[in-house]
Structures are given as C-alpha cells and as structure tokens.
Amino acid sequence: MSQIRIRDAAHYLGVSDDTVRRWIENGVLTSSRDESARTVVDGFELAQLARKNAVLPEDPSDIGRSARNRFVGLVTEITMDRVMAQVELQCGPHRVVSLMSSEAVRELGLELGSIAVAVVKATTVIVETPSGKVQNT
C-alpha cells in the first residue's frame, strides 16, 4: 500500500497542505503515521478522491466516439508553416500538443483562445514513477 505525505498529497491534488489536513479532520481522508512518525494518507484513497473531485469541462462537440481520452481546453499557441502546424492546448493543468496539417488548422478555425478538444487514442501509453522511489503494492 502506497503512503503519501501530506505535502505531496496537496501537491498532486493542487491544494494546500491545510486543505489536506482539513480533509483528514473532517473524515474525507484517513491518515496514519509512517515509520518516521509523519502523517501520511493512503495513495489509493487519495487517487479515489482525486477522481471524485476532478471537474472536467464538458466536451462541446456532442459526438460519440470510441476514444475515452478527451481533453477540453483552450488553444494557447499555434506554430504554423505552409504545410504543417503545431497546436498547443491548455486543458486544465495539462498541456497537450498536437501536430497537424496547416490545412486542418484553417478548416477547424483554430485560433489563439479558441476552445478545442484533444482526442487521444493511443496503442501505447507509457507510465513512469518518480526516480528513486519504488512503489509498494
């Protein structure tokens, strides 16, 4: 079972240490002590809370598709030449970059500040852990 310190839990959820402590006091999260007597929370419980609290913008396209990874965001940068373009979206805390034809950028009407949905359907997803830390399971 993975144990996560309060400051790290706060960092991963984008809240303050005090917020995590209040969640513990209010019974939203349970805590325990690690070998060094520091207060920690269970990683799986934290992950469940993160999923529950995730507020994702609604996909405005109203299109059915098989890809489950949809990131709604704002266009923050477009680098374009005659043939190809690089489009960057800010989707909540995540930066998503797409390479596409310049023609596609024009056809989609993409411009700085416009709303767009990045749809990802990948056969390979690489999962990494912080260096030097072994995840206990």
Give residue 137's pLDDT. 42
> Looking at the domain assignment, is residue 17 inside a domain?
yes
* Domain identity same for 76 and 106: yes
Sheet of 31-33, strand order: 3-5, 39-42, 31-33
Q: How many CA atoms lie within 13 A of 125 on its CB side?
A: 5
> Looking at the domain assignment, is residue 58 inside a domain?
no
Give residue 74's pLDDT. 85
Question: Which residue range forms the structural domain that includes residue 75?
Answer: 69-120
Where residue 38 sits, what CATH number does that domain have? 1.10.1660.10
Q: What is the pLDDT of residues 43-70, one digit of tens each?
A: 889 888 887 877 666 767 777 766 778 8
Give strand ranges (E) for the chain: 3-5, 31-33, 39-42, 69-80, 84-91, 94-101, 115-120
Regarding pTM above 0.85, the answer is no
In percent, the amount of the chain with pLDDT more than 70 equals: 88
Q: Which residues of the chain have pLDDT under 70?
A: 1, 55-57, 59, 65-66, 131-137
Give residue 24's pLDDT. 95
Question: Looking at this protein, which amino acid is placed at residue 125?
Answer: V
* Domain identity same for 77 and 47: no
* Domain identity same for 75 and 46: no
> Looking at the domain assignment, is residue 60 inside a domain?
no
